Structure 1
Amino acid sequence: MRTFIIILAGVLVSCQPAPEPYDWHLPKDFPAPVVPPDNPMSDAKVALGRALFYDANLSFNRTQSCSHCHQQQYAFAEPLTQAIGSTGEQHRRNASSLVNVAYNSNLTWAHSGLTRIEQQIVLPMFGEQPIELDITGHESEILSRFDNANYNRLAEAAFDDSPLTFDMVVKALASFVRSLISLESDFDRYAYQQDDDALSESARRGLNLFFSERLECHHCHGGFNFTQSSQHQFQQLDLRPFHNTGLYNIDDKGGYPLSDPGLIEITSQPRDMGKFRAPTLRNVAVSAPYMHDGSLATLRDVIEFYNAGGRGAGIDSPLKSPFIKTLNLTEQEKDDLEAFLLSLTDQQFLTNPQFSAP
């Protein structure tokens, strides 16, 4: 970025041109994501974040990058029941998909206080329980790996400064993951581009089921991003995105395993036992396994789970969301619902070279 020096009334003034507005490549009339004012989007920051996202030098033992647990072909999730960190430690939760994470109002599976991507990214970087990238205690050594011609060039373009600091790393990574926008599925062509042939008859029946008051799926997975955990420039309501779906009920009181009881860990409110964030359903067909602990292997398993109104004793959980109830779907209705969920797959997103390793 060039800086211009001009003289006003004998005083030197440094003038920098305003940065170009970031192009989200959104369909017409779609709302832009909310971006924190202290980390505005730019192509240069996205480029730096993309390089860092795929660089295993960000982990202390150089075995993992962010992309190890967030793989593009799986909608930036991974096909493991539970994630495994760079030291081999198995985590208690399934790696979340990063599809349209720029629109999320809350981050991670069950934390009402994490509302900015910049906050969340610090956890895998510096967290010690569990260990993911294992940066804590090794900060200077890891930063020194990025003090080279390539990263200094990227840092200068993004921040007018080099070498990299961890503040720059966090902001660049946040910018890259915010750029991961997926709005080109068959459903999008049908709903927003007026292509009536984009969905099969079965998928259209499934769409009608999904948004019906009989099934009530849309109450937790509503809006254009198919999740109640959402925010954007036009949204006025602050929606409550955490729900107990009846996955467990180990004590006949709605209890979840002590290893992961959900939102109650953060709020200490008994009503939050077993509550987890409703994830986006975009690209859900490629992001198996499902639920916070990866305990449902296939999309059909998920449909059967909701058809039953929960699992095992969880069906009778007193803490279960009122939207979770026995549905009595026919086999044809299950097929139709699955066809609709498959229509949310965005092949362009899954193969977009702008999101892959540089």
Structure 2
Amino acid sequence: MRTLFRKVLQMALLGGGALLLSAATRPTTWHWDIPSWAPAPVVPSDNPMRAEKVALGRRLFYDKRLSENGTLACASCHLQKLGFASGVPTHVGAHGEPGLRTPMPLANVAYLPSYTWANPQLTTLEKQMLIPMFSDQPVELGMGGQEKALFARLSDDPCYARLFRVAFPEAKGAITLSTVTKAIASFERTLLSFDSPYDHSLHGDKTALSPAAQRGEALFFGEKLECSHCHNGLNLTDNIRAANMPFPETGFHNTGLYNEDGKGAYPASDHGLRTVTGNAEDEGKFRTESLRNVALTGPYMHDGSIATLHDVLAAHYSKGGRSATGPHGENPLRDQFIEPFDISEAEIADVIAFLNSLTDQSFITNPAFSDPGKTCPLALPSASPSGKGAQ
């Protein structure tokens, strides 16, 4: 049946409109290509996974026509070779305006209960996509008020006209804000990373980690550093939602990065979670970032203000928060687990060796996640392209 579907779809994309609509009424079954130990992600009921949506979303993810002036795509701030992070503290938007926060990496975003650094109300990737497209403080893709222009651009492309009909037969191929964001979200949910040396070590391969990485692992999960209180579990973060969980876990923390007034204030440009909740106790709280591929995803912290993993350990966490070395001292609002600790250069090197073991080479080189180019696909994938994983 699947072979027949793909043949019919190929004929349709070559120009048979009637065949295209016929093929589109036969939805493919999605299979998550994940290790046996990993639970399935949660998918919104109004956007079920389909291979056709993923192929369309991948194309949109790399398309600079999603920005007002054609200068930026989603992929401009999320580079595969960097674990879909940006590599810069903040990314300049389509109008040349600097960003406020560093773009977050996208590995395993399908398992997150909320999106962006400090907004627990953005609970789906579909909703999150509205921020870079339409935000004006700061401007990112700059599409605010330009929705009709965007839909016209995409409609003028014969390839998109075909792909939207195949991906969204229930919408008769309409190119709308809903179908655009659903397609991109579907692609982003396939960005799964479970093939790092640490994954293999955790699930049976005792040779996967170097002796230095093993020592670093013991330090990371030990009581001396307390890292695992916030960086733990499937995604090395205390933010997780999966199909086998009765409710999501969410973690927003103040790490003592700033203390502008001696009372715990963060810079006026960004108060973190407090901006959303209005609660004074949420000053400086940000979502715990996943550490998957962390050696590639710097600079670090919400504003990219710490350049290296060495400085994250030596100049920030070991001090009980970087602000502890400033004129106002320790931030009184910092999380209870952010306490000073003594660590040698040798121990720092071991922890960094462990953090390097979280890099998934198959993830950052997987061709299924790369730029599809200008060629319109004549055949679409029939299953998740997430590739390898430690079994």
With structure 1 as the length reference, what TM-score do the two structures score?
A: 0.93
2:337 aligned partner: 323
Matched, 1:157 2:166: yes
Could you tell me which residue of structure 2 aligns to residue 92 of structure 1?
100
Residue matched to 2:113: 105
Please tell me whether the aligned partners of residues 53 and 67 of structure 1 are also in contact (alpha carbons under 8 angstroms): yes
1:186 matched to 2:197? The reply is yes
Q: Which amino acid aligns with 2:107?
A: V
**Range that drifts further, 297-306 or 45-54:** 297-306
Is the contact between residue 51 and residue 357 of structure 1 (CA under 8 Å) also seen in structure 2? yes
Q: Does 1:116 align with 2:124?
A: yes
What is the rounded CA distance, in whole Å, between the counterparts of 2:179 and 2:342 in structure 1? Answer: 52
Q: Distance in 1 between matches of 2:50 and 2:140?
A: 28
Q: Aligned to 1:173, what secondary structure does the other structure show?
A: helix
What's the counterpart of residue 354 of structure 1?
368
Partner of 1:294: 304
Q: 1:214 aligns with which of 202, 210, 224?
A: 224
Match of 1:297, SS? coil
Specify every segment of 5 or more residues in structure 2 that has no aligned partner in the other structure, as ranges.
9-23, 373-391
Contact map agreement 2:114 2:122 (CA 8 A) in 1: yes
Work out which of the residue numbers 278, 282, 290 in structure 2 matches 1:280: 290
Paired residues in the alignment total 345
Partner deviation per Cα, 1:120-166 (whole Å, 9 max, x = no partner): 10111111221111112222222111113211111111101224111
Q: Which amino acid aligns with 1:352?
A: N
Residues 92/237 of structure 1: CA separation in 2 closer, same or farther (3 Å cut): same
- The code of the aligned residue for 1:263 comes to L
Q: Which residue is equivalent to 2:352?
A: 338
User: Could you tell which deviates more after superposition, 342-351 or 22-31?
Assistant: 22-31
Q: 1:58-89, CA deviations, whole angstroms, 9 ceiling, x for partnerless residues? A: 11101111100111111111111112111111
Q: Is the 8 A contact 1:247 1:311 kept in 2?
A: yes
Contact 2:28-2:51 at 8 Å conserved across structures: no
1:255 has 2:265 as partner: yes
Query: Match for 1:280: what amino acid?
Result: S
The percent identity for this pair of structures is 48
Q: Distance in 2 between matches of 1:337 and 1:169?
A: 41
Residues 203 and 339 in structure 1, CA contact (< 8 A), matched pair in contact too:
yes
Contact 2:219 2:351 in 1 (8 A): yes
How does the TM-score come out when normalised to structure 2? Answer: 0.85
Q: Which secondary structure state, in structure 2, belongs to the residue aligned with residue 282 of structure 1?
A: coil
The separation in 1 between residues aligned to 2:248 and 2:363, in whole angstroms, is: 28
Aligned partner of 1:157: which letter? V
| Stretch moving more, 305-314 or 23-32 | 305-314
Q: Does 1:143 align with 2:154?
A: no
Deviations 1:229-250 (A, max 9, x none): 1111122354331000000011
2:317 equivalent to 1:306: yes
Rounded to whole Å, the distance in 2 between the matches of 1:29 and 1:239 is 19
Q: Secondary structure at the match of 1:316?
A: coil
Separation (CA, whole Å) in 2 of partners of 1:237 and 1:46: 27
Of residues 229, 233, 237, the one that matches 1:223 is 233
Q: Deviations over 1:231-290 (max 9, x none)?
A: 111223543310000000111111101100110000011110000011000000011100
Taking the aligned partners of 1:17 and 1:59, their CA distance within structure 2 comes to 32
Conservation of the 8 A alpha-carbon contact between 1:283 and 1:345: yes
Q: Secondary structure at the match of 2:123?
A: coil
Partner of 2:382: none
Distance 1:210 1:267 in 2: 32
For the residue of structure 1 that corresponds to 2:129, the secondary structure is helix
Whole-Å separation in 1 of the counterparts to 2:129 and 2:247: 25
Could you list the structure 1 runs, at least 4 aligned residues long, displaced by more than 6 angstroms after superposition: none
1:39 aligns with 2:47: yes
**Structure 1 unpaired stretches of 5+:** 3-15
Letter aligned with residue 166 of structure 1: L
Distance 2:273 2:180 in 1: 29
Alpha-carbon RMSD across the aligned residues, in angstroms, is: 1.7
- The question of whether the paired residues in 2 share the 8 Å contact of 1:146 and 1:163 is answered with no
Q: Distance in 2 between matches of 1:129 and 1:312?
A: 27
SS at match of 2:154: coil
Q: Does 1:267 align with 2:267?
A: no
Relative distance call for 1:88 and 1:307 in structure 2 (3 A) is same
Partner amino acid, structure 2, of 1:256: Y
Q: Give, in angstroms, the shift of residue 24 of structure 1.
A: 2.0
User: 1:177-199, CA deviations, whole angstroms, 9 ceiling, x for partnerless residues?
Assistant: 1110001001011112x111110
Instruction: After superposing the two structures, state which structure 1 stretch, 32-41 or 312-321, moved more.
Output: 312-321
Return the letter of the residue paired with 1:318: P
Tell me the distance in 2 between the aligned counterparts of 1:208 and 1:235: 28
> Relative contact order (alpha carbons < 8 A, sep ≥ 6): 1 or 2 greater?
2
Q: Is the 8 A contact 2:271 2:283 kept in 1?
A: yes
Question: Could you tell me how far 1:344 is from its partner in structure 2?
Answer: 0.1
